[in-house]
Structure 1
Amino acid sequence: MGALDSWTPGEHTAPIDGRATTHPTYRKGTGPGVIVVHEMPGLTDGVIAFAEEVVAAGYTVVLPHLFGPKERPFGVGDILRTLPGVCISREFTKIARHRTAPVASWLRSLAAELHAELGGPGVGALGMCFTGGYALAMMVEDATVAPVLCQPSTPFPIGRERGADVGLDAEDLDVVRRRAGAGCPVLGVRYRQDSATGTRFDTLTRELGEHFVRIELEGKGHSTVTEHRQQRAVDAVLEFLSDRLR
């Protein structure tokens, strides 16, 4: 039995850089909407298990499948097979500074559609690792009211400037600042010694002030809610979603 067998398959189509793009989605649960964007290398068993926890807490969860395998344990081999294709894809940014990933427009459209269906104050958005900053980019869409950044790792922290970059162009960063200042906080979760996140938490604190809520775990782990899951991280995410969506 596959980890997604109890989930309802679907798809979403929206423009990316002016070109209609379709990605599969999986949906489960009832209640306010939450979009969980998977990490590298794909829609792994660990990501699905975390999403099940969100469903159990009383949410309608949508899992977009953007790249890589699905329903497999996390594996280095899958990373090595997936990363080359992602690196040449125009949907994703890898090392460019001050640039929003083009796939953000697709994710914003998904959030708007989910909110239009479910109503309420808005939807939650959670990205992790390679997609960690995408929830921040989704804030440009007003429907996204509970953005969660788990160990955001792009642009890859090659050098000090990339390590501090939050993966947004100047216009989108202005929108995020405005929305945060108007009362839409951002939750960030990482291991304190995780070099993959660079210094972008410091950048977000500088840009958003008290509206950036930092949860920093001790140790040298990386995947805060999946492979190196800590209950403190999961509890913080669920509390944040409840505060913002209920």
Structure 2
Amino acid sequence: MRADDPLSDFTPREITLNDVSKRVYLTGSGSSNGSGPAVIVMTEMPGISPHVARFARWVRDAGFTVYMPSLFGRDGVVATAEEGAAVFQKACVSAEFRAFAGKGSSPVTLWLRALANLAHAECGGPGVGAVGMCFTGNFALSMMLEPAVLAPVVSQPSLPMDDPAGTGLDTAELQAIRQRLEDEDLTVMAYRFEGDAFCRAQRFAAFAEALGDRFISRVLPDSAANQDTAPFFKRYVTTPHSVVTAHLIDEAGQPTLAARDEILAFFRSRLVPADSN
């Protein structure tokens, strides 16, 4: 996890949706023949790191087709603290992202919803899964406005940055999502560390108030976090934060590994038809 990842087992594609083109890395059985359910894996800051790619491979190896869009940063690299900070600052002022309170969903979520629709058409199955982390955490919830998305995972959502109790969605969006969750008997899985300074308890409380018992949260103890992290995290992310990537401990019995396994089981329960088990 300390060396750059060439992502050689992923197939890069330039995908244009809504007149916007982005590079998307695909891997899994459905990436070439459209045979498997799709999961959209959205990167955390400062980009598609080896840890993010490792998580995407775990999703692939669980039997899914991964679509991993490049949203910021350099793909596959272990960013220095300085490079990571520059990526973060650029994203905060980008028109695609709304990092601060009172501005509603980030415009990039419209593109991501279109990607989910495309992935469903290409891979089939009941629908699509989506996992967002950190800067993209609440994007997985916004994507529920796309009917193809059936399994949203919200991991340490960090936006809006200036409002610990903010959700990054407006009232109408939250109401529409709650209605869909109720109508289709769906749930949202959410994860954070107890002492996370970027995703505090107030945010999960706000989601729970908006979505009721359809919002299923898991709060991990800070003691479960890996302390051996990359330079960007050592300097700028000084509390436990990244549940299934940088702060995951890849050892049996670890709470972070159990969280990963629960996410994979959630995808299977929502996306794999019962008659195929």
| Residue aligned with 2:217, SS | strand
* CA–CA distance in structure 2, aligned partners of residues 180 and 77 of structure 1: 41
Q: What RMSD over aligned residues (CA atoms) do the two structures have, in Å?
A: 1.4
| Residue aligned with 1:112, SS | helix
CA change 1:82–1:131 in 2 (3 A) is same
* CA–CA distance in structure 2, aligned partners of residues 245 and 76 of structure 1: 38
Equivalent of 2:262, from 230, 236, 240?
A: 236
Is the contact made by 2:10 and 2:27 (CA closer than 8 Å) also made in structure 1?
Answer: yes
Identify the residue that residue 87 of structure 2 maps to in structure 1: 82
**Letter of the 2:93 counterpart:** I
Identify the residue that residue 234 of structure 2 maps to in structure 1: none
Identify the residue that residue 29 of structure 1 maps to in structure 2: 28
Equivalent of 2:187, from 181, 185, 188?
A: 185
Q: How big is each residue's C-alpha offset from its partner over 1:139-161, in whole Å with a ceiling of 9 and x where there is no partner?
A: 000001000001000010x3xxx
Aligned length: 238
| Residue aligned with 1:166, SS | coil
Q: How big is each residue's C-alpha offset from its partner over 1:41-80, in whole Å with a ceiling of 9 and x where there is no partner?
A: 0111110011011111110001000111111125422321
Is the contact made by 1:112 and 1:141 (CA closer than 8 Å) also made in structure 2?
Answer: yes
Is the contact made by 1:46 and 1:74 (CA closer than 8 Å) also made in structure 2?
Answer: no
Q: How big is each residue's C-alpha offset from its partner over 1:76-112, in whole Å with a ceiling of 9 and x where there is no partner?
A: 2232121222122100011132501000000000000
Overall identity of the aligned pairs, in %: 40
Give the superposition deviation at 1:126: 0.4
* Aligned counterparts, 1:163-174, within 5 A: 163-174=164-175
* CA–CA distance in structure 2, aligned partners of residues 45 and 145 of structure 1: 27
Identify the residue that residue 226 of structure 1 maps to in structure 2: 245
* Aligned counterparts, 1:20-99, within 5 A: 20-30=19-29, 31-97=36-102, 99=104
| TM-score computed with the length of structure 2 as normaliser | 0.83
Equivalent of 2:15, from 12, 18, 26?
A: 12
* CA–CA distance in structure 2, aligned partners of residues 107 and 228 of structure 1: 26
| TM-score computed with the length of structure 1 as normaliser | 0.93
Give the superposition deviation at 1:186: 0.4
* CA–CA distance in structure 2, aligned partners of residues 130 and 76 of structure 1: 17
Equivalent of 1:130, from 131, 135, 141?
A: 135
Identify the residue that residue 6 of structure 2 maps to in structure 1: 3
Is the contact made by 2:22 and 2:70 (CA closer than 8 Å) also made in structure 1?
Answer: yes
* CA–CA distance in structure 2, aligned partners of residues 92 and 163 of structure 1: 17
* Aligned counterparts, 1:92-131, within 5 A: 92-97=97-102, 99-131=104-136
Higher Rg of the two aligned structures: 2
Is the contact made by 1:98 and 1:170 (CA closer than 8 Å) also made in structure 2?
Answer: no
